Amino acid sequence: MGKIVVTAFVTLDGVIQAPGLPDEDRDGGFRSGGWTQPYADPVVDQRTTKSVLDADALLIGRRTYELFASYWPGADPADPRTVQLNSQPKYVASRTLQTVDWNNSTLLRGDVTEQVTQLKQRHDHISIWGSSQLITTLLPAGLIDEFVLLTYPTVIGGGKRLFNADTPLDLELTDTTTAWTGVVISTYRRT
């Protein structure tokens, strides 16, 4: 059976909402979008590229799908992430989308935990980016195997969080490195 790996940009206080762009996710009146921008770093770029290239499938929620599908099909073809993301199978968990048009995308309908369990039998390494609601759904079912957390040296105060009090987890640290800008990149395996 394959594994599911969440790669997440997270603040010191656990926020994962809208890391890349100011208007990426304004849910709840969130005004701190784009908080990763001051911390651009080649070590971070190398690790995120590795996370993309290691996966043989992508599993994302609606909002992340819409962001990725609006960017990656026209992204620089010299970037190895572009080729990987555009060619690999993509599975989109959404209650509102009717269709998905990005190459090799499949819309998941019905019981997401059942469908994801089946996906783990077909793929060796499924990657999740963003998709906080999807993560919240999969954690209690025990379907997430690893986390690659890029922890940024900033405190936002409020916003969507990676972990909540509903699902206690025991994790084993398997790798860590610190980028030049102070971003701590840690890989945890669920025990």
**DSSP structure string for 96-119:** S-S---STTEEEE-S-HHHHHHHH
The residue-averaged pLDDT of 159-165 equals 84
> Rounded CA gap, 75 and 81, in Å?
9
> Rounded CA gap, 68 and 80, in Å?
15
The residue-averaged pLDDT of 69-82 equals 95
Tens of pLDDT, residues 22-44: 888 888 888 988 899 999 999 99
pLDDT value, residue 20: 87
Contact 85, 68 (CB under 8 A): yes
pLDDT at 180 over 80: yes
pTM score: 0.94
More confident residue, 22 or 8: 8
